[in-house]
Structure 1
Amino acid sequence: MSFVIDPPKQASVAVAGTDARFPVRRIFCVGRNYAAHAVEMGKDPERDPPFFFTKPADAVVESGETVVYPPETGNFHYEAELIVAIGTGGTAITEDKALEHVWGYAVGNDLTRRDLQLQAREQGRPWDWGKAFDRSAVIGPVHPASEVGHVASGAITLSVNGETRQNSDLAKLIWSVPEIISILSQSIALAPGDLIMTGTPEGVGPLVPGDTCVVEIAGLGRIETPIAPRD
């Protein structure tokens, strides 16, 4: 097969403890999946059903890589998240079978141009410019579920320059990992290489050039992201 231009490089993330890589096909994100975060965003966690948005695969940034403060925003936010890596695809997956489709778990940071996201929300427009921009998905090494088990609880924290900003537990997810997988697969065929960002706890806030943002999840390690000024 020949292409009229060079095909894009396969996006991938590290696998913990090995030189192997996990190929990234798509990134699905769950909106407002912690009750306290839903409240701080002005929504009702008891009424709102789960909803999803996406990021492109090539938005991935690895731990330790510097992220330049992005263009067209003055309110650039962090969001600590558990990442689920899909190893086996499927449609209409039932909750009791959902974890069979999980290859592993990782630590993530859903970087967000909050001002653009909120402007789009107020205008009833898609969130892409606020969520799906270049280098907006910081994702650490994937830990195989065969080694760490399936993650349902554990501390999730985020600090900026050593100061804790987010501090919660994965057990507080409104929609659990099996529920998320099942709901997603009713509308779209999940495939190997898909990643799911499962939502962020309360305490989201701004990053500025010179900051170093660290996300940690119990049993999955930590990721670190320095923020640099625009050129």
Structure 2
Amino acid sequence: MKLLRFGTAGQERPGALDTQGRVRDLSGVVADIDGATLSDEALAKLRAVDLDTLPLAPADVRYGPCVGKVGKFLCIGLNYADHAAESGLPIPEEPVLFTKATSAIVGPNDTVLKPRGSTKLDWEVELGVVIGKTASYVDEADAEAHIAGYCVINDVSERAFQLERGGTWDKGKGCDTFGPIGPWLVTRDEVADPANLKMWLKVNGKTFQDGSTATMIFKPAFIVAYLSRFMTLQPGDVISTGTPPGVGLGQRPEVYLDVGDVMELGIEGLGQQRQVVAQA
């Protein structure tokens, strides 16, 4: 299934794509697409619904973040060897963990705001993992069963805030609108191999990132098992698993986003996003 949320920001309704790619309204079936509806049992009930009997959403409807009420927004840094190299940083021996504020979460095509004082606004197409079952000290072999599905994430970053302002990376990662998620949450049964998906990102029509999840250092199941050693992962938590090379920081000379720039990005089978940069 391709689950989604649609409508005005803050008032999104749950939905799903039918076989013709149209948005069907699930609000008569579930209250939202969130942790409460992401267990295997709840997803099985949704699969049993005849989508063709449900109301259609307007054709031009806004897509919201594909997961609501996100409890934790966790991110893995430097998870592609070639991205670590372009960043001038060593390949990590263990996953590098940081967090994005949940207030950064927006829809896949919403405006991205350039923060006041920003000088190095950057992009990162990433595979998102959405937790469907509580995970605490799980083994890697069992970790996939704790994943509800996958989605596209743009890990928007402000490099000066991240790397030049002291402390951890979080200051450059959690600004408002820095977490576009969606358009869809694709359930794990429809993603044959999450570690072998093409991914890409363009700025103003120019391709900067053209990679694959195949070059991830730490794969999704390992990441879930690893993180579950340090904290309990709960249904609806989102993990952004790192980016391939081609970010603005890695260009020579470096290239950063400015007001009016347009980002387009996507991952094979998981949909596409488009954001325009505006001033905060």
Structure 1-normalised TM-score? 0.88
Counterpart contact for 1:29–1:54, Cα < 8 Å: yes
Q: Secondary structure at the match of 2:209?
A: strand
- Is there any run of 5+ residues in structure 2 with no aligned partner, and where? 1-8, 18-23, 26-31, 34-66, 249-255
Tell me what 1:167 maps to: 210
Q: Secondary structure at the match of 1:182?
A: helix
2:170 corresponds, among 112, 128, 136, to 128
Query: How many residues in Structure 1 have an aligned counterpart in Structure 2?
Result: 218
> 1: distance between equivalents of 2:271 and 2:109?
13
Tell me what 1:185 maps to: 228
After TM superposition, list the pairs within 5 Å mapping 1:1-231 onto structure 2: 16-17=16-17, 18-19=24-25, 20-21=32-33, 22-23=67-68, 24-45=70-91, 47-120=92-165, 123=166, 125-140=167-182, 141-205=184-248, 206-230=256-280
> 2: distance between equivalents of 1:201 and 1:27?
19
Alignment CA distance shift 1:12-1:42 (3 Å):
farther
Tell me what 1:5 maps to: none
Q: 1:99 corresponds to which letter in structure 2?
A: E
Q: CA RMSD in A?
A: 2.1
Q: 2:186 corresponds to which letter in structure 1?
A: H
Counterpart contact for 2:103–2:174, Cα < 8 Å: no
Alignment CA distance shift 1:32-1:144 (3 Å):
same
Alignment CA distance shift 1:66-1:187 (3 Å):
same
Rg (Cα) greater in structure: 2
- Is there any run of 5+ residues in structure 1 with no aligned partner, and where? 1-8
Give runs of ≥4 in structure 1 deviating > 4 Å: 9-16
> 1: distance between equivalents of 2:119 and 2:14?
31
Aligned-pair identity in percent equals 36
Deviation at 1:202, TM superposition (A): 0.8
